[in-house]
Copies of this chain bind each other. A is one copy, B any other.
Amino acid sequence: MPLRTRLTERFGLEHPIVSAPMAFVAGGALAAAVSRAGGLGLIGGGYGDGDWLDAQFAAAGNQAVGCGFITWSLARQPQLLAQALERRPRAIMLSFGDPAPFAEEVHAAGAMLICQVQTVTQARQALEAGAEVIVAQGSEAGGHGAVRGTTTLVPEIHDLCARCGSDALVLAAGGIADGRGLAAALMLGADGVLVGTCLYAAEEALVHPTLQRAMVAADGDATIRTSVVDIVRNRDWPPEFTIRVLRNALVDRWHGREDVLKAQLADAARCYAEAAAAGDPDESAVIVGEAIGLIDQVRPAAEVISSMVAGAEAQLRGGDRLIVA
């Protein structure tokens, strides 16, 4: 049975679940699979690559999907937004930077603006930019993010919206991989969730199977926030954002020794590129969050979604029964 929230009503979804636009990982097949399963799938526009973007929208076919960008990177090649908007996405998600310069173009094209934030200060900025949806992303999340936890960020941003008289939706992100996480997010005041790590383990994800096997085998203690992976990929991230990855030989070698790494970057970057192409989980980046400890198999995205919803329903019914009449 479906869950009904403000998110499902406003977006016409069956389930209050949006998939994270994981750069290079969330292609059209994954986004379409999530939308087909009743959620909203987002293509990972990431740093921006026009040809890749076209190919992934094509792979999504006629399924309604959205698209996400890394805001500071989009600002360097803003024409990519128009390219995405031509494909009539349901929504554009912007993370990691000021969304204001792009809001009008998104709205003019009839798409919803989803802004992912990591602090209350950023949430205020997103509301001022006219975001319809705020994703409150906690530090548990895989990939780029910051330091605040999901448990406090979600209710605090919910309260901020109420104080501002805003009816923007709030989604919880970071650490949510099953029905327990979805149910907990709804209790915190979220209208739904944005999930990445559990879909990194989906069959449709553009991830080498060896990386998926590595994440499934690890427990939640095995990830770390670091800058090593960005240095070695020559990604020029603002220092307030780190990337959560599986702790592996690459990270153990360089984390805390970033200056040494920078001094021999050419060699390290070449080794990284080779390892990434080969799907080497020890010397490339397995970009996942703490929720890997809750994931024990690779399966189709539709199963991830349906089991999450079924689990959430069971938790919510059980929660109501905890109240002594």
Contacts and interface: CB of A to CB of B under 8 A. Distances in A.
Interface of A: 1-5, 119-121, 138-140, 147-153, 155-156, 159, 174-178, 180-181, 183-189, 219-221, 225, 289-291, 293-294, 313, 315-317, 319-320, 322-325
Contact of A149 (B2, B150, B159, B188): B150
Contact of A220 (B152, B189, B323): B152
Kindly name the residue among A2, A120, A185, A187 whose own CB sees the greatest number of chain B CB atoms within 10 A. A187
A156 B320 contact: no
A306 to B, nearest CB: 15
A151 B150 contact: yes
A159 B220 CA distance: 12
B319 A186 contact: yes
Contact of A316 (B149, B181, B225, B322): B322
Given A320-B316, A323-B3, A155 B178 contact: yes
Nearest to A290: B152
User: How many copies of the polypeptide does the oligomer hold?
Assistant: 2
Contacts of A3: 322-324
A134 to B, nearest CB: 15
A294 B155 contact: yes
Contact of A293 (B156, B174, B219, B325): B156
A138 B148 contact: no
Contacts of A138: 149, 151
Contacts of A225: 147
Nearest to A138: B149
Contacts of A140: 148-149, 151-152
Contact of A290 (B121, B148, B185, B289): B148
Contacts of A187: 180, 183-184, 186-187, 315-316, 319
A197 B290 CA distance: 24
Given A151-B151, A152-B290, A324 B4 contact: yes
17 contacts: A1-B324, A3-B322, A138-B151, A139-B149, A140-B152, A149-B149, A149-B150, A149-B174, A151-B174, A152-B290, A152-B293, A153-B220, A155-B180, A155-B294, A181-B188, A313-B323, A320-B320
A121 B221 contact: yes
Contacts of A186: 187, 319, 322
Q: Nearest 6 pairs between A and B by C-beta?
A: A151-B175, A320-B320, A140-B149, A183-B187, A152-B290, A184-B184
A153 B2 CA distance: 27
A195 to B, nearest CB: 12
B184 A151 contact: yes
